[in-house]
Amino acid sequence: MYITRKHISRRTALRGVGVTLALPWLEAMMPAQTPIRGSVAQPRTRFAALEMVHGSAGSTAEGTRLHYWSPTTVGRNFETTPILRALEPYRDYVTVVSHTDIAPATARVDAEAGADHTRSSAAFLTSAHARMTEGADIFNGVSIDQVYAEAFGQDTPLPSMQVCVEDVGSLTGACGYGYSCVYANTISWGSPTTPLPMERDPRVVFERLFGDGATPAQRLDRRRANASILDAILGKVSDLQRDLGAVDRARLDDYLEDVREIERRIELVESQNSTRRGIDLPEAPVGVPDAWVDHVRMMFDLQVLAFTTDVTRVSTFKMGRDVSSRVYADSGVDTPFHSLSHHGNRPQQLAEFAKLNEYHVDQVSYFIDRLKNTPDGDGNLLDHSMVLYGSPMGDGSVHNHLRVPLFLAGHANGQLKGNTHVLCADGTPMANLLLTMLHKLGVRADAFGDSTGEVAI
């Protein structure tokens, strides 16, 4: 029997005027009769870090007793909890890590007191203590996403992407208590003095993924003509499909529909906002949806597209802003977020805060589901991803950074088993988990931040 399938490169892209469309993984990207696992074509692990601010009801003394976040049982087949119940369908991919602390986020001297919110985001992925300054002499640590991007993201079009859903402002200025706003405005640091800005506008992210080479005038003309970026490459798509097998053609069609669907959603938001200018967010970029859940899911979908095409393997997503008073209308909770985090451990308010925490995790389950249902190599994107979700604050009512809420999702190319709850000894640095994650991602490191060892995940 002769195998005649044409082999195409993993880096094949379809190019048109102002458009570069990377392709998803296709069977045609493997030489015929070559197994994927163990070959150079095996997809490298994608890494996503998701931060939610203000801590968790499960990180309080009472919330710990009631197991709002941390499961009652340890090891495999753990009993799910109220906040994490949305993850139940994906438990085989979920690793819950309980009772780690982020000591570097706490004040070290009296002058630093009061700035726990500002230091939180700075420490989340760095496990470093941000230098107290309102000037340009900022100093933090390198974040884990950038350590991974430096090691394994330099051969992708975008070494990493950083997104958010709330206006985090510029990376300058003072935010009170003697600290620069930069520390609260990003979770991604390329070096101790290089904070990486988070992008809020879905249109900008979309253009970075697919609009390579387009000028602002070309983009404007395309929008005025109500044209899709796909229109510029239709002929190339047809040429490619003739060389693909049935499975690859179906996979390519699904991917192109995903691209077009998110483009439609962005266009719809822009059209609505151009006429009524965002009722809830009047100062937001024209492409930003009013509804938080719509914005979050759009950003998740963009990250899925980026991972699907290997445009990038690294993303960070700041899902909230410290001291935000946003009210999440769809959650059933009408108390502003920051106010509710100061629940004073009153049972009714604590239960309401747990309900809001559950709502936030529910949105992450959407991302997990999208990854799980996106084919990739010999499995799906969730098989080949490591997703970290958590908050750098523990009990928001007292601004501590103890028992911070964390979980991992994905199998990371076989490095994580899932369906596991790991209960750490009190006082275990979260840096121990970050160091372990780096090792699971294939990065050699002897230490990270204030780490003292590894976590058995």
Mean pLDDT by 10 residues, the chain (457 residues): 58 86 89 56 90 97 96 96 97 98 96 94 98 95 98 95 85 77 96 97 93 62 72 91 92 95 93 71 77 97 97 97 93 96 96 98 98 94 98 96 98 97 97 98 97 96
Q: Which of 113, 117, 57, 124 is nearest to 321 (CA)?
A: 117
- What pLDDT score was predicted for residue 2? 33
* AA identity, residue 307: F
Asked if 412 and 435 touch (Cβ cutoff 8 Å), the reply is no
Cross-strand pairs, 314: 47
Q: DSSP letter for 159, please.
A: S
Residue type, 38: G
* pTM exceeding the 0.95 threshold for the entire prediction: no
State the Cα–Cα distance between residues 415 and 441, nearest whole angstrom. Answer: 8
End-to-end CA distance of the chain: 46
What token pair was written down for 89? 């369908």
Other Cβ atoms less than 10 A from the Cβ of 11: the count is 12
Say what the pLDDT of residue 287 is.
82
Handedness of CA 24, 200, 360, 292 (dihedral sign): negative
Orientation angle between helical segments 246-276 and 292-308, nearest 10 degrees: 150
What does the pLDDT read at residue 1?
28
pLDDT in tens, 428-440: 999 999 999 999 9
Structural tokens at position 245: 């097998």
CA-based nearest residue to 266, from 316, 310, 212, 203 = 203
Domain 49-200+288-440, classified CATH 1.10.3110, yes or no: no
Alpha carbon 36 to chain centroid, angstroms: 27
Q: Which residues contact 149 (CB under 8 A, 6 or more apart)?
A: 159, 160, 313, 314
Q: Do 365 and 328 contact (CB within 8 A), yes or no?
A: no
H-helix segments, 28-113: 61-66
Dist. CA 123–CA 107, nearest whole Å: 12
Q: What is residue 172's predicted lDDT score, i.e. its pLDDT?
A: 58
Tokens of 364: 């992450």
Contact 166, 327 (CB under 8 A): no
pLDDT tens digits, residue range 254-279? Answer: 999 999 999 999 999 998 887 765 55
**Residue 19: per-residue pLDDT:** 87
